[in-house]
Amino acid sequence: MTRTVLSWVLEKLEAGHDVALATVIDSKGSVPGKPGAKLAMIKGGEKFGTIGGAGLELKIEKALNDLIKKPYIMASQGGRIENFVLYKDGKGKEVTALDSLCGGQLTVSLEVVNTTPHILIIGGGHVGKSVSLVCDSISWSYSVFDIREDFSNKDRFPLAKELHSSSVSNFLDLENKDSLSRFSDILILGHDWSIDQEILIGILSIIKDQERPRIGCIGSKTKWSAFKKAALDENISKSIIDSTRCPIGLPIGAHSPGEIAVSICAEIISLDADNGSMHKREE
């Protein structure tokens, strides 16, 4: 059972979901779940596994549901341990008592397993290559899209998870709202403003108002104004457009491709520290 639950956890992490996980780490007496029993849950309530059922499971499910709503805060605290007594007379003691007559005791760990960033780098030029090197150094996953095969291949990006080289329309035809959620962030770093605009509008049209992926676009305020007008002309809502970050990167005075890549990745870290919320541009 442990293996199947952990396989489910890995599958959900791969798809971009944070996972709340409960594990029985100690038990005494008559209890429904033995040490090693696990129950995992993602946001929205989908779950897998069991720690024994009955009132204990309902209590754990509620705890997991509360945790998954604030995964980054939970991760910074390192999880927590709770003790349960399966006996109604345990109320008032330093344990969580359940309305049961079993008489057993369990110790359960509660934690959130966070996804690591999986970045889609759109544009495999100097900045895109530098972003990949920063990702390599901190064990982030990344994939690359470029209409030019010379800028999206195994020689240039040997550690990329995915490599895509096609027209923008062909790439987008293979994607939908769910599939794009495998990326935590999409960085538009292309060499041609018209290609950047085409793929930005295409992606915003697909993802609409979902939290993942976040979208960032390199460029000036003038470039962004043109992109914003084009997106509005395509009937994309202003709120969705304004969730895009442009320019991207923390304001650290970056100039070289390497410095810009550091500022971009640092911004992603800061967004995750802010509970992974969508970052709104300042007008």
The pLDDT of residue 93: 46
Check whether 191 has a pLDDT greater than 60: yes
Domain match, 214 and 244 both? yes
Average pLDDT, the chain: 87
The pLDDT of residue 205: 94
Tell me the three state secondary structure of residue 89: helix
112, 111, 133, 129: which is closest to 121 by C-alpha? 129
Measured CA to CA, the distance from residue 87 to residue 265 in angstroms comes to: 50
Q: How big is the chain, counted in residues?
A: 283
Q: What integer is the mean pLDDT of 130-150?
A: 97
The total number of structural domains in the chain stands at 2
- The first and second tokens of residue 128, run together, are 């895109």
Domain match, 249 and 131 both? yes
185, 188, 222: which is closest to 202 by C-alpha? 188
Domain match, 128 and 106 both? no
> What residues contact residue 40 under an 8 Å CB cut-off, 6+ apart?
5, 8, 9, 12, 19, 20, 21, 22, 47, 48, 49, 64
Q: What is the pLDDT of residues 66-121, one digit of tens each?
A: 888 876 666 666 688 888 776 554 444 444 444 444 557 888 999 999 888 999 99
Domain match, 161 and 37 both? no
Of the residues 88, 113, 138, the one at which a domain ends: 113
Cis check: omega of the bond before 32, within 30 degrees of 0? no
Check whether 174 has a pLDDT greater than 70: yes
Domain match, 172 and 260 both? yes
Domain match, 93 and 182 both? no
- For 9-20, b/e burial (b = at least 16 CB within 10 A) is beebbeebbbbb
Q: Environment class of residue 148 by beta-carbon count within 10 Å: exposed (0-12), middle (13-18) or buried (19+)?
A: middle
Angstrom distances, CA of residue 259 to CA of 131, 136, 160, 264? 9, 15, 21, 9
Check whether 255 has a pLDDT greater than 90: yes
**In which domain, by residue range, is 77 found?**
2-113
The pLDDT of residue 89: 45
